[in-house]
Amino acid sequence: MLATFVAVFGTDKWGRRKLFIEGGIQMLIFQVAVAVLIALKFGVSGNVTELPEWYSIIVVMCICIYVSAFAWSWGPLGWLVPSEIFPLEIRSAAQSITVSVNMFFTFGVAEVFLSMLCGLKYGLFIFFSVFVAIMTVFIYVFLPETKGIPIEEMRVVWKRHWYWKRFMPDHDDQQVNGNSV
């Protein structure tokens, strides 16, 4: 829980992208570490005759470090960044979709986690580490930094981004159904 304060006090100091990328790298490292530790001791059978206390402490520490990385990066920023990047005209609808998608996938992961753990064993942690890697690369490539940028100026940020600029209108007075946007 204390790791969340890193995001609370560091987001405006270090920037969203940096926290996303650093958190993603840390999460990836410790997700893979957990997979390796479980694979070495449990293998694919899931049976172990002896598990030393020091070994289990290392596994729990790796999980705790993973959770703390999530708590100072992807956890809070997954709520903050969407609220900052959408234009004022669609912000409430876009944030509603963001929350709905987040809850849907949280429910899905919670529903299948134990079944996947029984079937994939340590491979489950590799499975999720692939998604952490994809998420981190996505942020690196597609998310512009929003640190210090007023919400009203986000259109300019999107217009300057190498990829997203092709989806932005050339003028700000675009008409949609006769109404100015």
CATH of the domain at 65: 1.20.1250.20
60 within domain boundaries: yes
The reply to whether 58 falls in a domain is yes
Residue 172: predicted pLDDT: 58
3-state secondary structure the chain: CCCHHHHHHHHHHHCHHHHHHHHHHHHHHHHHHHHHHHHHHHCCCCCCCCCCHHHHHHHHHHHHHHHHHHHHCHHHHHHHHHHHHCCCCCHHHHHHHHHHHHHHHHHHHHHHHHHHHHHHCCHHHHHHHHHHHHHHHHHHHHCCCCCCCCHHHHHHHHHHCCCHHHHCCCCCCCEECCEEC
* Total domains present in the chain: 1
- Look at residue 170 in the predicted model and tell me its pLDDT: 78
What domain range includes position 15? Answer: 1-42+51-160
Q: Is residue 172 part of a domain?
A: no
**Residue 63 neighbours by CB under 8 Å, 6+ apart:** 30, 34
In a domain, 16, yes or no: yes
pLDDT per residue rounded down to tens, the chain (181 residues): 899 999 999 999 999 999 999 999 999 999 999 999 999 998 888 788 888 999 999 999 999 999 999 999 999 999 999 999 988 889 999 999 999 999 999 999 999 999 999 999 999 999 999 999 999 999 999 999 999 999 889 989 999 999 999 998 876 555 445 555 5
